[in-house]
A and B are shown apart, each in its own frame.
Chain A
Amino acid sequence: MVTYILKRMISIIPVFLFATLLTTGMIHLSPVDPAEAYLTAAHIQPTDEILAQKRQEFGLDQPFFIQYVNSIMKICQLDFGISYVSNKPVWDEVTNRMPATIQLALGSILIAVLISVPLGFLAGVKKNSVFDHFSRLLSFIGASIPSFWFGYLLIFFFSVKLDLFPVEGTGTWQHLVLPSITLAFPLIAIYTRLLRASVLENIEEPYVLFARTRGIKEKTIMGKHVFRIAISPMITGLGMNLGKLLTGTIIVEAVFSWPGFGRYFIEAIFNRDIPVIQCYVLIAASLFIISNLLVDMIQMYIDPRISRKEGYKQ
């Protein structure tokens, strides 16, 4: 088990290197010169002299490989450079905005799990019932509705018409409700679908038949046996969709004027604030990688067969 975890940890390194290579390489492919972008963002009239000085300061006059190694060294020290716009370290700016985004993400995960677990489970157990059709319709709409539009629909009905929740901003728990629901809806669609499929698959397994022949109550079989195993793909889904969640926050933060990381990123794109863009892509990638690793570990804890299977392969 320990070797499995270690192996998985080591397998992160190339993916991380690839991510940094991508972000460093992108800047070289970009038609915009970082030194020029900096001067424009800082409202300084670019002259050849200042440009040359800035290029040297950013290390742009060095060969690509050295720049790449340097940027990796800096990233390992959590130094993502200095924002062109505010002249403060990017990492500080990001950590200031992170809590709002994390709050939003946790809120929506909570809502998504609370709704999709019972919905998906019951839909699977009672296949082709009214309930099942409802859940399928819901997950279909959830997968097809653009979240920015859904957010405005919620604002329109619950804020403008019914005046139950504030339109935008942060502060109280009421502010969190609509953005979290908006972010949770596509997740609900995916998880409900996943859990339903997984329950349907498990019901066909011999252990269910065996439990039935032993005369165990249907409720106990479903609740204790099927549920425990069927929930496992959902955990994978939770980890795999963390990336979706992160990109989802960009849109939801734009809709609800939520002062988080995603909105900062969009502002950075408009201001050509390249260090912030790099930092966002890297953090998003790392989050994605780490969440996948965590999911694997949780799954292994639930179902130890996985690590043994891996062992056989190698």
Chain B
Amino acid sequence: MIRSIQKMFNLQKVIPICSIMIGILFILAIFAPLIAPNDPIAVNMAYKLQPPSMDFPLGTDQLGRCNLSRILYGARISLGFAILIFVSSILIGLIVGTFSGYKGGWVDHVLMRFCDGVMAFPSLILILGLVGIFGPGLTQVILALMLVQWVYYARMFRGMVLSLKEQNFIVAARVSGSSKWKIIKNHIVPNVLPPLIVMGTLEMGWAIMDISAMSFLGLGVQAPTPEWGAMIHEGKSYIRTNPELMLYPGLIIMVVIVTFNLLGEALSERYGVKRRF
């Protein structure tokens, strides 16, 4: 067993295996309507809390809804919104960070002090505070996550721009008359990509965890939309009679997060990027 764990940490294998797993996950999420055997929100009290059968491969929940279909549809919410948060926070971070680092001066100072202020607090407290003020709901949770996450990217990009700015090839490009935007586009962005991929992979894991945690608390996705965290929340009342209601969604969350974390770690080792705790 120890040998197998040792092999698991082997870089050459972790990256393709995890990438394939993530690919499969995305395919499952995108084609959920075609794959899912049943309607995930169709209530049928006659079939409530059924054991696994041909019609319901993972059984049914307290309202007679197909567990497998709900998990498949849940993947759309978790992965879809994790991607949305990831892409938008990177975009904001990229724009603000590169701008701030490249421009320097008071603009840089003001922007970075703001980032410091946000980073001074644990991100979940800020997210919960924002959700608290704006009210529960998926849109609010997603917005709050975006508003907090971009700061880390902005900081990262700024740091990179500052160290890159003085490099010879940038100086050469500037001397030969390239415009600022051209330098940013052609020389700085490609150099920034590897750490970005690492951070992004880890970020996906965090985002999925945060979205499901919020839904578990009842602040994110509202019933009857299928979402993994919300499913655990609904399944907890049946822990004595039907523990599988809370076991399945939890297991899938863990597998997804483990995959993203493993991939992120392997990538960070490969590219030699330091990860933040």
Contacts and interface: CB of A to CB of B under 8 A. Distances in A.
Interface of A: 15, 18-19, 22-23, 26-27, 29-32, 130, 133, 136-137, 140-141, 143-149, 152-153, 155-156, 160, 190, 194, 237, 240, 243-244, 246-247, 250-251, 254-255, 265-266, 268-270, 272, 274, 277, 280-281, 284-285, 288-289
Size class of the B contact interface (CB-based, 8 Å): 35 or more
A243 B213 contact: no
11 contacts: A19-B120, A32-B133, A137-B5, A143-B261, A147-B213, A149-B246, A149-B249, A247-B128, A266-B217, A284-B121, A284-B122
Contacts of B219: 266, 269
B42 interface: no
A270 B136 contact: yes
A54 B2 CA distance: 66
Interface string B157-200: 00000000000000000000000000000000000000000000
A240 B209 CA distance: 20
B253 interface: yes
Nearest to A244: B122
Given A146-B213, A146-B257, A152 B132 contact: no
B121 A246 contact: no
Contacts of B9: 136
A144 B133 contact: no
A26 B277 contact: no
A149 B129 contact: no
Contacts of B121: 19, 243, 284-285, 288
Contacts, number: 140
Given A26-B129, A27-B133, 19 more contacts: A19-B121, A30-B134, A31-B135, A130-B2, A136-B9, A144-B205, A144-B261, A160-B239, A160-B240, A243-B124, A247-B124, A250-B217, A266-B217, A269-B135, A269-B136, A272-B135, A277-B132, A281-B126, A281-B129
A269 B117 CA distance: 24
Given A148-B216, A194-B277, A288 B250 contact: no
A145 B125 contact: no
Contacts of B258: 140-141, 144
Contacts of A149: 232, 246, 249-250, 253-254
Contacts of A250: 128, 217
Contacts of B216: 146, 148, 251, 254
B6 interface: yes
A136 B126 CA distance: 30
B64 interface: no
Contacts of A240: 277
Given A133-B6, A148-B216, A269-B132, A247 B257 contact: no
Nearest to A167: B239
Contacts of A141: 258
Contact of A251 (B130, B132, B213, B262): B213
Interface in B17-32: none
Nearest to B219: A269
Contacts of B246: 149, 152, 156
Contact of A146 (B124, B125, B229): B229
B60 interface: no
A274 B277 CA distance: 32
B125 A247 contact: yes
B254 A145 contact: yes
B263 to A, nearest CB: 12
Contacts of A237: 277
B131 interface: yes
Contacts of B125: 243, 246-247, 280-281, 284-285, 288
B201 interface: no
B212 interface: yes
A265 B127 CA distance: 13
Contact of B277 (A22, A190, A247): A190
A237 B261 CA distance: 20
B218 interface: yes
A30 B133 contact: yes
Contacts of B232: 148-149, 152
Nearest to A17: B117
B107 to A, nearest CB: 19
Given A152-B232, A190-B277, A133 B2 contact: yes
A61 B126 CA distance: 27
B96 to A, nearest CB: 18
Nearest to A243: B122
Interface in B126-149: 126, 128-136
A255 B237 CA distance: 11
Contacts of A23: 129
Contacts of A133: 2, 5-6
Given A152-B239, A243-B125, A281-B125, A18 B133 contact: no
Contacts of B262: 140
A237 B136 CA distance: 32
Interface string B214-240: 001111000000000100100010011
A269 B135 CA distance: 7
